């Protein structure tokens, strides 16, 4: 049995769009020592492939981080499979807020050194000494307290389309940069009540322990992240202090928490919160693009990328050999308004 996919992604996406079954998109993580991550990875692939599970899962000695979609008809079998796993018993699921079942088109399991790239030396501090976990209600109440500092632990392209009221949103591209930024720029806030939040909670789990090690006295984190916050406010009839869209790392690229649109199209400046990956396979720049610009620019970020996508596939492949990716990006950035230039720094694959 092959333990990885070999089908072209275009064909896989076509199959997904034509798939008649319903799927449930969810995520979970757990910090737990996995003795043989490579063997465990292969075991999970066999089990989940048999259930037609799709998703992106990272396994490391320190634990597992999973975002995936499960056929509705196999969901209970999958749940039992998870809870019978010695590493994952009773692990909390975060179920997607908006879900069309088209979030992932293949099953990808990778073994990594860490389940979240943070650049930290875990031996230098107590990773289990995490901040206080707050429910949605508790988080809302803490936001109202005078002097509270709320920090978005996500990257700039995530917070751009949705964030908590009065949150500090560092202009960074990676979690590692975020940790450094907060430590340096908020060092005068170490005696304040600090609230951390992220997509599903995993980044805050590590960040809260690190910030406590760095001397922050009152560190708190949103339990279950934005995803579970959305579930709780709906279930309990609470006001959403989070405005806009929650960015997600799958084909959907986002799910609305409220109908507020707090960002703009990077090409025309009109209100918009729809992320696009540039259609040029040698670029795939992640940026915000409205429907009018999407049609006009053919899902591309620059005229140069449009011209490349219109070439025959074989010609595009020839161009990629030895070609520096995103070489048209510097040209396009020079045409942007200064306040939008910084937004064009992130590329997805």
Cα–chain-centroid distance for residue 218? 26
- What single string gives the DSSP state of each residue in 75-134? HHHHHHHHHTSTTTTTPPPEE-SS--S-S-SSEEEEE-S-SS-----GGGS-TT-PPEEE
- Torsion angle, alpha carbons of 7, 45, 122, 191, to 10: 80
List 276's β-bridge partners, or say none.
287
| Measured distance CA(112)–CA(225) in Å, rounded | 23
pLDDT tops 50 at residue 130: yes
- Please state the rounded mean pLDDT for residues 180-184: 96
- Please state the rounded mean pLDDT for residues 166-182: 95
| Measured distance CA(92)–CA(57) in Å, rounded | 16
Residue 101 confidence (pLDDT) = 85
User: 126 vs 33, 120, 121, 331, CA distance in Å?
Assistant: 15, 12, 10, 46
Residue 231 confidence (pLDDT) = 95
The CATH class for the domain spanning 9-111 reads alpha beta
CATH of 131-236, one of 1.10.260.40, 3.30.460.10, 3.40.250.10, 3.40.190.10: 3.40.250.10
For the chain, percent of residues with pLDDT exceeding 90: 75
Q: pLDDT confidence of 322, banded at 50, 70, 90?
A: low
Q: Where are the domains of the chain?
A: 9-111, 131-236, 275-341
The two tokens of residue 321 are 């050999």
Q: pLDDT confidence of 281, banded at 50, 70, 90?
A: confident
Residue 295 confidence (pLDDT) = 96
Report the SS3 class of residue 65. Answer: strand
Q: Is 301 a catalytic residue?
A: no
Residue 191 confidence (pLDDT) = 96
- Please state the rounded mean pLDDT for residues 62-69: 95
List 20's β-bridge partners, or say none.
none
Residue 348 confidence (pLDDT) = 38
pLDDT tops 60 at residue 326: no
Give tens-digit pLDDT for 21-55: 999 999 999 999 999 999 999 999 999 999 999 99
pLDDT tops 90 at residue 321: no
Q: pLDDT confidence of 332, banded at 50, 70, 90?
A: very low
Residue 1 confidence (pLDDT) = 58
Does 187 or 330 have the greater pLDDT score? 187
The two tokens of residue 27 are 């995520």
Q: pLDDT confidence of 135, banded at 50, 70, 90?
A: very high
- Please state the rounded mean pLDDT for residues 221-228: 96
pLDDT tops 60 at residue 328: no
pLDDT tops 90 at residue 80: yes
Residue 336 confidence (pLDDT) = 43
Q: pLDDT confidence of 230, banded at 50, 70, 90?
A: very high
Please, are residues 254 and 274 in contact by the beta-carbon 8 Å criterion?
A: yes
| Measured distance CA(197)–CA(136) in Å, rounded | 11
Give tens-digit pLDDT for 333-345: 444 434 444 444 4
Residue 349 confidence (pLDDT) = 34
Catalytic residue (one of 169, 198, 283, 293): 198
Please, are residues 58 and 68 in contact by the beta-carbon 8 Å criterion?
A: no
């Amino acid at each position: 049995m092959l333990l990885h996919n070999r089908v072209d992604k275009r064909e896989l996406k076509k199959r997904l769009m034509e798939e008649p079954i319903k799927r449930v998109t969810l995520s979970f993580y757990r910090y737990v020592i996995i003795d043989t991550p490579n063997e465990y990875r292969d075991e999970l692939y066999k089990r989940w492939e048999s259930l037609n599970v799709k998703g992106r899962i990272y396994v490391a000695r320190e634990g597992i981080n999973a975002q995936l979609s499960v056929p509705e008809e196999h969901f209970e079998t999958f749940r039992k499979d998870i809870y019978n796993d010695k590493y994952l018993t009773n692990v909390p699921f975060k179920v997607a807020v908006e879900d069309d079942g088209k979030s992932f088109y293949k099953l990808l399991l990778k073994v990594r050194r860490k389940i979240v790239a943070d650049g930290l030396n875990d031996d230098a501090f107590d990773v289990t000494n995490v901040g206080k976990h707050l429910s949605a209600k508790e988080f809302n109440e803490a936001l109202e307290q005078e002097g509270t500092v709320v920090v978005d632990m996500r990257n700039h392209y995530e917070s751009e389309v949705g964030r908590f009221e009065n949150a500090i949103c560092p202009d960074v591209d990676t979690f590692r940069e975020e940790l450094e930024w907060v430590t340096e720029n908020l060092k005068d806030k170490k005696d304040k009540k600090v609230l951390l939040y992220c997509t599903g909670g995993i980044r805050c789990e590590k960040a809260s322990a690190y910030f406590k090690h760095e001397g922050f006295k009152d560190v708190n984190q949103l339990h279950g992240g934005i995803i579970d916050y959305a579930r709780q406010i709906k279930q309990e009839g609470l006001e959403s202090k989070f405005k806009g869209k929650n960015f997600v790392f799958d084909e959907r690229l986002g799910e609305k928490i409220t109908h507020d649109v707090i960002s703009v199209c990077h090409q025309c400046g009109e209100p918009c919160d729809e992320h696009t990956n540039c259609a040029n396979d040698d670029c795939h720049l992640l940026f915000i693009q409205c429907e009018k610009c999407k049609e006009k620019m053919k899902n591309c970020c620059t005229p140069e990328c449009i011209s490349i996508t219109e070439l025959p596939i074989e010609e595009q492949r020839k161009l990629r050999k030895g070609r520096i990716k995103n070489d048209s990006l510097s040209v396009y950035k020079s045409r942007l308004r200064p306040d939008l230039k910084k937004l064009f720094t992130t590329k997805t694959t």
